[in-house]
Structure 1
Amino acid sequence: MTALRVLRSEWSKFWSVRSSWITLALSVTVLAVIGALASAAYTPDTGGGNAPPLADGAVGLALTGTTFAALGVGVLGVLFSAGEYSTGMIRSTLAAVPKRLPVLWSKSLVYGVVATVVTAAGALAAFQLGGLTLKDADIALSLGDEGVPRALAGAGIYLGLVGMWGVALGALLRSIAGGIAALTGTLLIVPGLASLLPDSVADALTPLLPSKAGEALTALEHSAGLLSPDAGLAALVGWVAVTLAAAGLRLTRTDA
């Protein structure tokens, strides 16, 4: 069993389950539709409650749905790995790949690449659709403006890494409910709880959280409370790497 064949096996597993492409399609649709609606609802006279910082302009509006897309992509990642434990299929998988670890790496790589490419396309669609209603607005931007391609690609990279993190959580916890709870709690609840900590601790901890690191990847300009794009990427990769390492350790040392 070669590495390429394990990759092909995980690719087949992903696309042969109806919930995979349906959930992925819904996540991308949410990203594009919410971004387009936010752009259409923008009113320069009042700024509206949905207006992003001027520096982010049309990109900030186009990526309004990133949080919702991250939940969909992350949950699908959990299902992709933990689902095998709930059905018992993991025993057949590990019987075919007795070294075990190639299964985890292949599953993460397959889903990470798919989620990155598809959601980056969704972010581009949201930006282009939003641009149709922001032609004459003061925050209008074009795809050729400095930082715009990086921010849109950053959205895809962020969502792809969240998907890989979901796969790692599912493999580590071996529970669909547990993996989803850990993912949604870290993305949505922990940032709010961090604000209750002393300012010195919150200021140091909050930028390292996955959701804030994702904001650093998609921001056009660096702002207070956010890491630089490179540091944000490093933080996200760190979350994925540590969780995958823990999942790999459990996979090799305990029975499925």
Structure 2
Amino acid sequence: MSTLIGRTAQAEWARIWSVRSSWIFAFATAAAVLGIGTMIGLDASSGPPPDGTAWDGALPTGFFALFGILAWATVCSTADHTSGGIIPTLQWTPRRGVLLVARATVIAATTAVVGLLLVTAAGLVIWAIVPAVGAPAGEAAGLIGRLAFVLTSGALLAVGIGLLTRSTAGALVTVLALMLILPFVLAQLSLVYTWLESIAAGMPGSSALYLVFGEGPYEEMTTTSARITLVAWVVGALFLGGLRLIRGDADR
């Protein structure tokens, strides 16, 4: 079984990097993250010495990395279904559970690692522009640890929703709404309709923002509750998406 999963994972890795869209997403995300990092560094160099470190400056770039990772993971998970390539894929890997494990693992690991490398690079760019801020290794480890959980969870959520909808457009809209749009909209509406606070806090995007920035739309949010919420969404999405992959017709 492990050999089969390993072979399927290698095929998934090759599939990701054999399509043009993956390179486009990687370069576009890199341009956004490094560009924002450069702007933050230049802005810090032209004013009074900032109180934080280079990693504090790099923190906002994680938001742009998350946006790129979500879109990239979504497209990777739906590409086979939109192109019809899922048929030969399942002929080569008839055990759909194996395909599910390999696909989710490879897509999430690949996109999350790229995102982490880019945010780290953005921090180093800020440090190079403003050496006075410093770049403590301990803070780098803390930043990478928080972002690793958020980016990996976001990518897995995108894979699950992609497998469930089998539509690139539908999955993109759903993922971006859950992670980036609804949390902000509901947070604003909750100023008028207070009962929306609980719904806003239950959005995966709210938990992601809290884990990265330490702030959320709901005062009673904690690191533990945010992690549990993200994990629950990921498990639910992968369960439903995996159920459709395993039991549903591949071409429907």
TM-score over 0.5 for the alignment? yes
Q: Is the 8 A contact 1:213 1:226 kept in 2?
A: no
Hey, what does 1:199 align to over in structure 2?
194
Hey, what does 1:215 align to over in structure 2?
209
Q: Secondary structure at the match of 2:9?
A: helix
Residues 118, 127 of structure 1: alpha-carbon distance in 2 compared, 3 angstrom cutoff: same
Hey, what does 1:182 align to over in structure 2?
174
The percentage of aligned residue pairs carrying the same residue is 24
Residues 124, 89 of structure 1: alpha-carbon distance in 2 compared, 3 angstrom cutoff: same
1:85 shift after superposition: 0.8
Q: Secondary structure at the match of 2:137?
A: coil
Comparing 19-28 with 224-233, which one deviates more in the overlay? 224-233
Equivalent-residue separation in structure 2 for 1:6 and 1:41 (angstroms): 46
Hey, what does 1:39 align to over in structure 2?
41
1:217 shift after superposition: 2.8
TM-score, scaled to structure 2:
0.83
Alignment of 1:1-256 (within 5 A): 2-42=4-44, 58-136=54-132, 140-145=133-138, 147-195=139-187, 196-197=189-190, 198-202=193-197, 204-219=198-213, 225=219, 227-256=221-250
Q: Is the 8 A contact 2:33 2:118 kept in 1?
A: yes
1:226 shift after superposition: 7.6
Comparing 165-174 with 63-72, which one deviates more in the overlay? 63-72
Q: Is the 8 A contact 2:59 2:143 kept in 1?
A: no
Aligned Cα RMSD in Å? 2.7
Equivalent-residue separation in structure 2 for 1:245 and 1:141 (angstroms): 44
TM-score, scaled to structure 1:
0.82
Q: Secondary structure at the match of 1:199?
A: coil
1:255 shift after superposition: 0.6
Comparing 168-177 with 116-125, which one deviates more in the overlay? 116-125
1:243 shift after superposition: 0.3
Residues 222, 84 of structure 1: alpha-carbon distance in 2 compared, 3 angstrom cutoff: closer
Q: Secondary structure at the match of 2:136?
A: coil
**Structure 2: any 5+ residue segments left out of the alignment?**
none
Q: Which amino acid counterpart does residue 76 of structure 1 have in structure 2?
A: W
**Structure 1: any 5+ residue segments left out of the alignment?**
none
1:178 shift after superposition: 0.3
Runs of 4+ residues over 6 Å off in structure 1: none
1:23 shift after superposition: 1.1
